[in-house]
Amino acid sequence: MIEEPSFIGDQMHAWAKELFPLNRSLTGEGLRKTLQFIKNLCPDLSIQEVKSGTKANDWEIPEEWNVKEAYLVNLETGQTIDFRDNNLHLMGYSVPVNKIVSRDELELHLHSLPNQPDAIPYVTSYYARDWAFCVSENQKKNFGSGNFKVLIDSTLETGVMNFAELYIPGVNKEEILLSTYVCHPSMASNELSGPVIALAISKWLQDKSNRNYSYRILFIPETIGSIYYISKNLKEMKENIKAGWVLTCLGDENRYSYVPSRKGGTLADRVSLKTLKELEVKFDEYTFLERGSDERQYCSPGVDLPVASLMRSKYGTYEEYHTSLDDLKYMTPKGLAESFEMIRTSIEILELNKFWKVKTLGEPQLGKRGLYPTVSTKNSGRLVEDLTNVIAYCDGETDMIEISDICNLKFKRVSEIIEVLLAHDLIEEVKCKSEN
Amino acid sequence: MIEEPSFIGDQMHAWAKELFPLNRSLTGEGLRKTLQFIKNLCPDLSIQEVKSGTKANDWEIPEEWNVKEAYLVNLETGQTIDFRDNNLHLMGYSVPVNKIVSRDELELHLHSLPNQPDAIPYVTSYYARDWAFCVSENQKKNFGSGNFKVLIDSTLETGVMNFAELYIPGVNKEEILLSTYVCHPSMASNELSGPVIALAISKWLQDKSNRNYSYRILFIPETIGSIYYISKNLKEMKENIKAGWVLTCLGDENRYSYVPSRKGGTLADRVSLKTLKELEVKFDEYTFLERGSDERQYCSPGVDLPVASLMRSKYGTYEEYHTSLDDLKYMTPKGLAESFEMIRTSIEILELNKFWKVKTLGEPQLGKRGLYPTVSTKNSGRLVEDLTNVIAYCDGETDMIEISDICNLKFKRVSEIIEVLLAHDLIEEVKCKSEN
Amino acid sequence: MIEEPSFIGDQMHAWAKELFPLNRSLTGEGLRKTLQFIKNLCPDLSIQEVKSGTKANDWEIPEEWNVKEAYLVNLETGQTIDFRDNNLHLMGYSVPVNKIVSRDELELHLHSLPNQPDAIPYVTSYYARDWAFCVSENQKKNFGSGNFKVLIDSTLETGVMNFAELYIPGVNKEEILLSTYVCHPSMASNELSGPVIALAISKWLQDKSNRNYSYRILFIPETIGSIYYISKNLKEMKENIKAGWVLTCLGDENRYSYVPSRKGGTLADRVSLKTLKELEVKFDEYTFLERGSDERQYCSPGVDLPVASLMRSKYGTYEEYHTSLDDLKYMTPKGLAESFEMIRTSIEILELNKFWKVKTLGEPQLGKRGLYPTVSTKNSGRLVEDLTNVIAYCDGETDMIEISDICNLKFKRVSEIIEVLLAHDLIEEVKCKSEN
């Protein structure tokens, strides 16, 4: 069902390399440039904006934040820490500052990680006005004493929050949601892996000849982006979305991970588990208590969309997470290619997964259709075993994922057998009430 | 949620000590005095009576039994066995006798326990007219041969059966049933532990400022008492009772025990299991096949009330059971206090357990309410984990007991978080159809 | 409930001995003689016929096949292989042949089993015109070279397919289906065990005084027989059949086996499992994926009858299967008698299994009915334990099979207790919606 994605890993890694230096945040130029980069590769992308201060359920669109420059200088030694070197150095949403401070005062505005002395931590303060620099523990230790010049030439003012949406229509109005976020600065697996895989999947879907489902692919700032989007589109989403995934943490080569929807058991959950079994990979199965991205909104009470997460090493479980160590070395072309394969497999399973009903009462006569060995010997029954087992559960109530489970067959094998049965006009599709 | 019950164990044990010598049975003076003792401490108690011979479903109220004196004398040695020494010596409902009998004839009317040579067994013959004395195996062995005078100055005649009922109204008409029995003579854990805990709980409930539920507390003769009460009140009981417990075997310090309702899974069962988990005690979980008190009636087909049992060492499982060894030493103030705690915890859980629904679509913004750290660092997500997990299941369909299970949080912790959410107007109560 | 079947094993084995030499197939004289033999013993049997070429759902009744003689002769050595010695030697449905062939050409028409050098395999070619001889590997090796005369004096022409049906009416229209097949030539456990047990059960049922269920017992050619029967009777079958079994592979003394219905959990499945537990035998529990006889038709989507299989060593799992080694030595009187017992037990359970409701509210008073020891001592509760436990689940919703499961009592014990309760007018039958 799936061709080997040879170059796709390199391609996605190259995109990530271009996007890496941009200073993404909930708002601002870095976010806009990121979305424009994606639109250049995928012109159907619709980039939208919403004004600061707009209400969205319990929340409000924040002010737009932009940074011209930001640095610290030790006035004695001339040592500097500069936002230009790594945009993680500046705490997200830092207010403008231009003053001389003592080391003691500076300490109140420095973040570092004592247990990871080479890592710059990723810190933000979206909803309380403050400023800070983030440095490695080693930088902090060696930054000397005395007085320091602090310059943050940032603006924090009424503007817009941007996000982008791609709708790829299919035969049916029923939709699959893919949601990824574009609000973290220079980090790789826990940021760019999502957008570059969403982009690659989008291009693959656009090239796919017949799509049963329509696809809604969102590139949004995390949390506030999904909350805003839900506030505007809930009714339509609840009507149409039959399964969805949050795309994040897809870039490393370590474990596979699965976080279920709030109550589990949705089509997205069933497809996720079938995909991981189909790929024959080991994986960590988390509970919804261990969630951490936009499924928090999509699965919240009253929203309750069937959204799960398929990941590699999950946020919060790897030490590079939310530090400068989650970089383009931690995220590899191979890891991205494997994750692309996982998401594509899920979509292929979804596209193929249907309810079928055998058209005969009693087993069909396979022999007259050339599907049965003409001479019945002691072992010939085994030859048609898969065929008859699949037929036995083509009862209009059991979808192909469940048939695959019951019959201990790969989904791919069930799909091949369904093709044979269709070719011989032995089954017909049954429209079941959607599971969502 | 629960204060340490310091004096309560001693208090209950003192009540038991006063009640211990009374010759309780299904009917008679001992029963009446027991109920009057309770009424003196709890004036709202309503003592009722029903005439011997009254029909109650398949049963009939027995004749009233009273005993003036009863003894055996060895006419040779002068050795005596006297009801005044221990009312267990006389088999319950023994008919009047005044005659001289041989040792052989006496043997037919003596009960003892060869394997427990110091224990006087507890024996009754409610529904077949007979007489007997119950003695320790050692007494029996040493009681000599020859002729014996038997005197039983008892009456067995038309009278009344007494029972008592306490109704403590709450905000709602929905009721919690507590049922205990008052028909065993001088035994402690399998008799007096139930009434004294029911009394202590009643006084605590009457002092409790706001009760959501109403409470119906029954002090009845076992079996015939509950059968009569059900025969008169079934319709109202089925309408109102949402959970109930039979209170018995609550006085020792050994194991905790749980007997489910007939089919399990009722609110009483769920609260029982949550209570035992909340108290972090080990317990024996029995099946309904191992029942043995008034849940036999409350859970019978067609009655089917949601009634479970929370006990310490269960009837029939400890060797002191139904003998003179189940005394005021076997039942301790500590055991009673711990059991009081268990029943009170169940009631507190019941009173607090509600269905809540979050008022926002998508997660509420905790930050603007001071519920979220203002600076987001690598680990700050953990701080609000409990809060967001509870919110995630405030969906109007999941009660607090289930939230506590799903979120691996103590019920008490869930309750605290619900208080915080209420204080910030983030949730509202949802009235669910009752589970019963 | 069940008497020891002393002679029945010998009786069934003797019937099988008479039927063994007949050249049964889907059609023809051997099949007719087999059915006539059964009708001679069971005159109510209705033998029916359907014309070749008749459509039956996706299938068509095959031509009738008859064999006058068939042999191979080595023209050099005079060695022969003759259908008269063992009718397995001729492949089922072999077309007429009369010619001289070389060893090389003969090889294309010889079947043998290299791993079982003494066994003649059972081979058929119902739906592709061909001819072949089946021989043991040793025969094949020693049959020499040179030229061979092949003579098959068979006819394959428009005729009829026969099958037979026995309807044994009961008090109710609800039916139990027993289906067995009569289309294999000289083989024992995987052929004759089914018909002889079906015959013995039929005679036992006809002698049984009161039958709650009606019984429909089918003797049919496998697959095409059940497909034809279903095509004519589906509506009535779906209305009436509450449980059914395919009878096959019942003749050896080895394991017991159970194959569930397609989705499991039907009355037939519940009775099957209860029977095996009641008999206290170890058994192999297969899945529906491992099915292999007419349950393939009875359980197919849209037919979906509650049909399971209780067997000894299952088809395909023993090495004698579908060879000349599955003979009258492999199938023993003891094996047949035990299997008869199993099927009879299932029917007895079915006949007795009902829903009961206790007529009292609260427990009935056992004492006044002499069902309770009059003196209550420490252990007397145990004596009535089974009685009160069964009563506790006589709630009109729990059938006796489930009561037996819940109460950890043998079905037979539950049945005895139900008799006692009925004798004391303590319970009444409740008609539940049938489970099918």
Residue C127 contacts A where some CB pair is shorter than 8 Å: yes
* Strand ranges for B288-409 from DSSP E: 307-311, 355-358, 395-399
pTM for the predicted model, two decimal places: 0.93
Q: What confidence score (pLDDT) does residue A374 get?
A: 60
Report residue A413: phi and psi, to 5°: -65, -40
Mutate to test the interface with A, among B359, B371, B376, B409 (most CBs of A within 10 A): B376
Q: What is the DSSP string of A293-318?
A: STHHHHTSTTT---EEEEESS-TTSS
**What residue ranges of chain A are covered by domains with CATH 3.50.30.90?**
65-157
- Contact list in A for residue C300 (CB cut-off 8 A) is 358, 361-363, 391-392
3-state secondary structure string across A43-104: CCCEEEEEECCCEECCEECCCEEEEEEEEEEECCCCCEEECCCCHHHECECECCEEEEEEHH
Structure tokens at C408: 């950890």
Nearest to A52, CA basis, from A69, A66, A38, A39: A66
Question: Is the domain defined by C8-62+160-352 classed in CATH 3.40.630.10?
Answer: yes
**B28, B62, B152 from B52: Cα distances, Å:** 11, 5, 22
As a whole number of angstroms, the distance between CA C248 and CA C293 comes to: 8
Q: What DSSP element (H or E) covers B16?
A: helix B8-19
As a whole number of angstroms, the distance between CA A79 and CA A57 comes to: 46
Nearest C-alpha in B relative to A94 = B375
Instruction: Identify the segments of chain B with pLDDT beneath 50.
Output: 1-4, 382, 435-436
As a whole number of angstroms, the distance between CA A377 and CA C252 comes to: 22
As a whole number of angstroms, the distance between CA C145 and CA C77 comes to: 9
Q: What confidence score (pLDDT) does residue C381 get?
A: 54
Q: What confidence score (pLDDT) does residue B378 get?
A: 52
Nearest to C295, CA basis, from C330, C247, C352: C247
Query: Mean per-residue pLDDT for A274-299?
Result: 98
Q: Would you call A360 and C289 a contact, using CB atoms and an 8 Å cutoff?
A: no
The residues pairing with A94 across neighbouring beta strands, listed in sequence order, are A130
pLDDT at A312 over 60: yes
**What residue ranges of chain C are covered by domains with CATH 1.10.10?**
355-430
Nearest to C246, CA basis, from C271, C270, C226: C226
**A264, C205, C264, C353, C418 from C216: Cα distances, Å:** 46, 11, 22, 19, 28
User: A65-157: what CATH class?
Assistant: alpha beta
Q: With contact defined as beta carbons under 8 Å apart, do C261 and C285 qualify?
A: no
- Contact list in B for residue C388 (CB cut-off 8 A) is 296
Q: What DSSP element (H or E) covers B276?
A: helix B267-278
The residues pairing with B181 across neighbouring beta strands, listed in sequence order, are B220
- What's the pLDDT tens digit per position in A200-226? 999 999 999 889 999 999 999 999 999
Out of A127, A226, A234, closest to residue B368 by CB: A127
Structure tokens at C10: 């010998």
Report residue C202: phi and psi, to 5°: -60, -45
What is the pLDDT of chain A when averaged over all its residues? 95
Q: What confidence score (pLDDT) does residue C371 get?
A: 85
Structure tokens at C204: 């036992």
Q: Is the dihedral of CA C130, C136, C141, C146 positive or negative?
A: negative
User: C66-157: what CATH class?
Assistant: alpha beta
Residue C323 contacts A where some CB pair is shorter than 8 Å: yes
Q: What confidence score (pLDDT) does residue C3 get?
A: 45
Structure tokens at C93: 């449905």
As a whole number of angstroms, the distance between CA C331 and CA C72 comes to: 30
Question: What angle, 0 to 180 degrees and rounded to 10, lies between the N-to-C axes of helices A8-19 and A29-41?
Answer: 150
Report residue A57: phi and psi, to 5°: 50, -120
Nearest C-alpha in C relative to A396 = C301
Residues A148, A153, A155, CA angle at the centre, nearest 5°?
Answer: 140
Structure tokens at A379: 């072992």
Chains that touch B (3 or more CB pairs under 8 A): A, C
* Strand ranges for B138-194 from DSSP E: 147-157, 160-168, 175-181
Question: What angle, 0 to 180 degrees and rounded to 10, lies between the N-to-C axes of helices A411-423 and A267-278?
Answer: 100
pLDDT in tens, chain C (436 residues): 344 456 999 999 999 999 999 999 999 999 999 999 999 999 999 999 999 999 999 999 999 999 999 999 999 999 999 999 999 999 999 999 999 999 999 999 999 999 999 999 999 999 889 999 999 999 999 999 999 999 999 999 999 999 999 999 999 999 999 999 999 999 999 999 999 999 999 999 999 988 999 999 999 999 999 999 999 999 999 999 999 999 999 999 999 999 999 999 999 999 999 999 999 999 999 999 999 999 999 999 999 999 999 999 999 999 999 999 999 999 999 999 999 999 999 999 999 999 999 999 999 999 889 887 765 555 555 458 999 999 999 999 999 999 999 999 999 999 999 999 999 999 999 987 554 4
- What's the pLDDT tens digit per position in A155-178? 999 999 999 999 999 999 999 999
The residues pairing with B94 across neighbouring beta strands, listed in sequence order, are B130
Total beta-carbon pairs less than 8 A apart between chain A and chain C: 88
The residues pairing with C147 across neighbouring beta strands, listed in sequence order, are C102
| Region for C166 from its dihedrals, namely left if φ exceeds 0, alpha if ψ lies in -120 to 50, beta otherwise | beta
> Could you say which residues from 87 to 116 on chain A have a Cβ atom under 8 Å away from some Cβ of chain B?
91, 111, 113
- What's the pLDDT tens digit per position in A101-135? 999 999 999 999 999 999 999 999 998 899 999 99
Determine the topology of domain B64-157 in CATH.
Glucose Oxidase; domain 1 (3.50.30)
**What residue ranges of chain B are covered by domains with CATH 3.50.30.90?**
64-157
Structure tokens at B175: 């009721």
Q: Would you call B302 and C367 a contact, using CB atoms and an 8 Å cutoff?
A: no
Q: What confidence score (pLDDT) does residue A375 get?
A: 58
Residue B262 CB contacts under 8 Å (≥ 6 apart), including other chains: B288, B295, B299, B300, B301, B304, C392, C393
Is residue A32 classed as helix, strand or coil in its secondary structure? helix
pLDDT at A307 over 70: yes
CATH of A355-430, one of 1.10.10, 1.10.3470, 1.10.600, 1.10.1330: 1.10.10
